[in-house]
Amino acid sequence: MLDGPPWFGKARVLEAAVGAARDRGYTPLLARAPGEVDPTALRGAPRPLLALNDAHADPPALLHLLPVLREPNVTGLLAMTSSLAGDEVRRELAGADVVPLGPVDQDTMERALRELLELPPHPDFTALAATAGGNPRMLAELVAGLREEDRVEVHDGTARPVEGPLPRRVRGLIGSRVDALPPDAARLLRGASALGAGFRPHDAAAVAGTGATPEAVRALIASGIVLERGERLEFCSELVRRAVAEAVPAPAPCPPPAAPHSDTDRALLHRVRALSEDGRLAEATGLATSGLTGAAPDVAALLHVELAGIRFAEGDAVGADLQAAKAFSTPGAEPGTRALAEALRLLANYFTEGPLAGAMALSVLSARGQQTGDPDVVMAASVRSCLEWAAGNLAESLYWGREATRWEPGGPTTWWQNYCNGAFALKLSALGEFAQAERLVRPDDPAQSWETPPGARALRLFARARVQLQSGRLLQAQVTGAASLALARRGGIELLIPLLGGVLSTAALLRGDLAGAVEHGRRCLEGPFARRLAELLGQPDWVLLRLAEAQDGPARAAGLARGCAARPGALRRVLVEESTAAPWLVRVALAAGDAQLADLVVDAAADLAAANPGTGVPAASAAHARALRDRDPVALLTATTAHRHPLARALASEDLAELRAGRGDAAGAAEQAERALRGYERMGAEREAARLRTRTTGAQPV
């Protein structure tokens, strides 16, 4: 039996084996499917040998045929992909002689490449060969196709491929397999080719405009073109993915660029932007609206973009989308203007309708001819990153978040474009990568002079305040947050008001200012963006939980936590954003006598950690929460150093101190209590420090 994935040359090996058998006196009988075999004719032939390619294609017929092949005078030679044949077929063939055919290692591929070229390969050729995924047959087809098209150059004794699309020979071979798929599966595959090596079926469906039906997915897997990797699918090789992608028709060419803007046009646009940045939104709106009359096409489109930005600042995401759509559809608008309009549409839709924004983002990211730094590409990557983050897919979110910081030279030119860097900084901070996060939002970097507009500074300062809060610099977070709040109010940027309310409320509460925490916490629930932010982020729920515990005690907070857990994805969002959330919620649940809630939080944290292996913060939080529930001193001791966030480390030390004290280990309890106290004091977390002193010494909090 020849066993291996599709496209690894099983048919050619089978053909060669049949020829060799014929030379040795066998009578070969060839069949294309098990159901075509006539057992009587097979038995009646002298020294019969049945050669059957793709034997896995009809498992029931193959099972019916196997007893005939086991007869003493009959020899069977099967070529198949056993992984597609089913468990029963594999059990029946367990005793067969198997010749495995599959991917070979890099050294073998490089030797094969040298033999095919009869020359040492240039590194470019070696890199191209690596895309074949260890498939010698594909490598041979690739080299043969390049030679047929005279695309192998020899320089300084090495062979180098001429750049360009894959050879027609390779595209034809792979295209024939794609064309043989059911139509829905073929469309799904073509959509997936724009997403990279790995993809989720529903993402590919969004790009392709089709459905990811189970039948289509099964057809793709059965074809061997893609492989199953848990919940994701993966192309069998980059060469195959590229061949599928190159067969997708390219978009229509863009119209020629519009004429340069006149001095009058530039002055108008500059004045509108200046008024908008200064927070004089009504004046900016009036000037932009009046300027639309008689404006050149691209100027009109840019004015619509400015109006969209104003609507978005005011909290009218739907109006922003409508204005940006007008800019995008303006005849004669330049590609750069259309890209800017599409970027704002993506952000506006994210704050109104997440699934639609996700589909739009996939469409932009999969379009051919896009450049990494284009505004729409960057914003699409940011939206994708945010949606993956909320879903708990942290590695995927970080990948797209990094893509969202690759601005074109000159950087973002509007306050809302700065959302991309700020959003990624928050994710890095949540994972304890404080230095990286702060580099993205540093306001005084001379190399980033484009962040001088007040709106951009406000957004960056908000993100910086959040990083300072999570890295344990509470006083700086309050100062930075207050500066951001002043700029946001001046610029009329409604989006930042509830976000800053969350940062300032948490900082005030930790520092012991309950009245200030409550005042700032109200902002999380106010304004046009508050409701949508509560659906997208965990911060609003977290602020309410902390305030409920501080004002009304653990029972009230536990009740809110149960409500949070009942809403789809809400508890996960809190756990993703706050490293202390899981152990803090378990502490609250135990204090309220709610063991069921404690179990629910521990399980949710464990699920998040399991879904994100190699990401330290979720694992540390989950382990801390479990150790607290199980009263495990060894695991709690590990948590005191495993956490990256200072507050989480101090909480772990406090939890361990309480556990040791309860077990009569006064010295061990005092040691951990002192560590926790030093941690709180370094941060300026006066409320936490006072609570700890009260519990350990009986002194009244100041």
| pLDDT value of residue 89 | 84
379 contacts 357 by C-beta, under 8 angstroms? no
pLDDT per residue as tens digits for the range 281-333:
889 899 989 988 888 888 899 999 999 999 998 888 899 999 999 999 999 88
| pLDDT value of residue 262 | 67
Q: Of all residues in the chain, what percent carry a pLDDT higher than 70?
A: 93
| pLDDT value of residue 413 | 62
pLDDT(46) > 80: yes
Helix (H) or strand (E) holding 52: strand 48-52
Phi and psi angles of residue 235, each rounded to the nearest 5 degrees, phi first? -60, 145
Contacts of residue 39, Cβ cutoff 8 Å, sequence gap at least 6: 65, 68
The number of CA neighbours under 13 Å toward the Cβ of 242 is: 17
d(CA 416, CA 363): 21
Highest mean pLDDT among 31-45, 366-380, 655-669: 655-669
pLDDT band at 372 (very low <50, low <70, confident <90, very high): low
Give the chain's length: 702
Q: Going by DSSP bridges, is the β-strand pair 198-199/232-235 parallel, antiparallel, or unpaired?
A: antiparallel
d(CA 519, CA 478): 14
pLDDT band at 53 (very low <50, low <70, confident <90, very high): confident
pLDDT(397) > 60: yes
| pLDDT value of residue 52 | 86
| pLDDT value of residue 408 | 59
d(CA 188, CA 283): 49
| pLDDT value of residue 443 | 54
d(CA 472, CA 579): 12
| pLDDT value of residue 700 | 46
Helix (H) or strand (E) holding 49: strand 48-52
Q: Of all residues in the chain, what percent carry a pLDDT higher than 90?
A: 43
pLDDT band at 448 (very low <50, low <70, confident <90, very high): very low
| pLDDT value of residue 69 | 87
DSSP letter, residue 564 = H
The number of CA neighbours under 13 Å toward the Cβ of 82 is: 19
Give me the helix-helix angle, 454-470 and 474-491, nearest 10°. 160
Task: Select from 698, 281, 204 the least CA-distant residue to 489.
Answer: 281
| pLDDT value of residue 450 | 41
pLDDT per residue as tens digits for the range 543-590:
999 999 999 999 999 999 999 999 989 999 999 999 999 999 999 999
Contacts of residue 271, Cβ cutoff 8 Å, sequence gap at least 6: 287
pLDDT band at 446 (very low <50, low <70, confident <90, very high): very low
Q: Which residues pair with 226 in a beta bridge?
A: 235
Joined tokens for residue 412:
């973002």
d(CA 343, CA 364): 9
| pLDDT value of residue 370 | 60
Mean pLDDT of the chain: 87
User: What does 214-243 look like in DSSP terms, one character per residue?
Assistant: HHHHHHHHHHTSEEEETTEEEES-HHHHHH
Task: Select from 192, 272, 270 the least CA-distant residue to 234.
Answer: 192
Highest mean pLDDT among 168-177, 231-240, 315-324, 551-560: 551-560
d(CA 531, CA 541): 11
pLDDT(507) > 90: yes
Task: Select from 374, 377, 368 the least CA-distant residue to 346.
Answer: 377
pLDDT band at 449 (very low <50, low <70, confident <90, very high): very low
Question: Model pTM?
Answer: 0.67
Q: Distance between alpha carbon 635 and the CA centroid of its chain, in Å?
A: 31
pLDDT per residue as tens digits for the range 484-495:
999 888 888 888
User: Residue 203: how many CB atoms within 10 A of its CB?
Assistant: 22
d(CA 653, CA 583): 12
